[in-house]
Amino acid sequence: MPLKLIIFDLDGTLVDSSLDICNALNHAIRADGVPEVSVDEMIALVGEGASALIGKLIEKRGLDLDVPTLLRRFLDYYRTHLADHSAPYPGTEKMLRTLSRQKKAIVSNKLEALTIQLLKALDLLEHFDYVAGGDTGAQKKPSPVPIFDALARFDTLPGDALFVGDSIYDMAASRAAGVRSVAALYGYGSPGFSQGADYSIGRIEELIDLVAGL
């Protein structure tokens, strides 16, 4: 089947943003005297957007804190520090240039404005024809709706697209949408997240050969 569209997750797939997200989370909880979160602890909770990240941390640690307050602190900090340490994974720009013939989209659970801001900060935005965040449409991953929206944007059938992601939410969304999935094994995914994926890659550059073989 011809490949017309490649849809990417952002954090943990194209960009390692873990330290900046962790720093924003720690900024949000510091005022309440909560012990700081490690990057590894944050990675185990991330994937469904900032509000869910905070909610999971509160539940895990049994905290009696207000999610909207923490979310406001998180976003206020993150907006001005989202690219302090974040960087594309090695080979990302080469991959995007090499696969320039295919339309490319981002479907992230990060807020759309922050997704675009981070892509701009890392000089990646020009490579994408469509960018959707967790607040762009009616639903977010693991719902297939954001993928359906991207397919509709380019009048593309599910069988003519790939979804590249690093989490169970990405794999579930692509599976429900009928889109072939590529598990990014180098990202933030929990053990076993790639079970059932159509393909897997250990480096983002491997996508070049994968696409060439389709």
Which one from 9, 11, 20, 170 is the annotated catalytic residue?
Answer: 9
Answer yes or no: are the C-beta atoms of 84 and 24 closer than 8 Å. no
Contact between 180 and 160 (Cβ < 8 Å): no
Q: Are 3 and 214 in contact (CB under 8 A)?
A: yes
**Tokens at residue 200, please?**
């897997």
In the chain, the amino acid numbered 66 is D
Alpha-carbon distance 147 to 135, whole Å? 13
The one-letter code for the residue type at 34 is V
The backbone torsions φ and ψ at residue 188, rounded to the nearest 5 degrees and listed phi first, read -95, 0
Active site residue 11: no
Residue 1, class by beta-carbon neighbours within 10 Å (0-12 exposed, 13-18 middle, 19+ buried)?
exposed
**Which residues does the annotation mark as catalytic?**
9
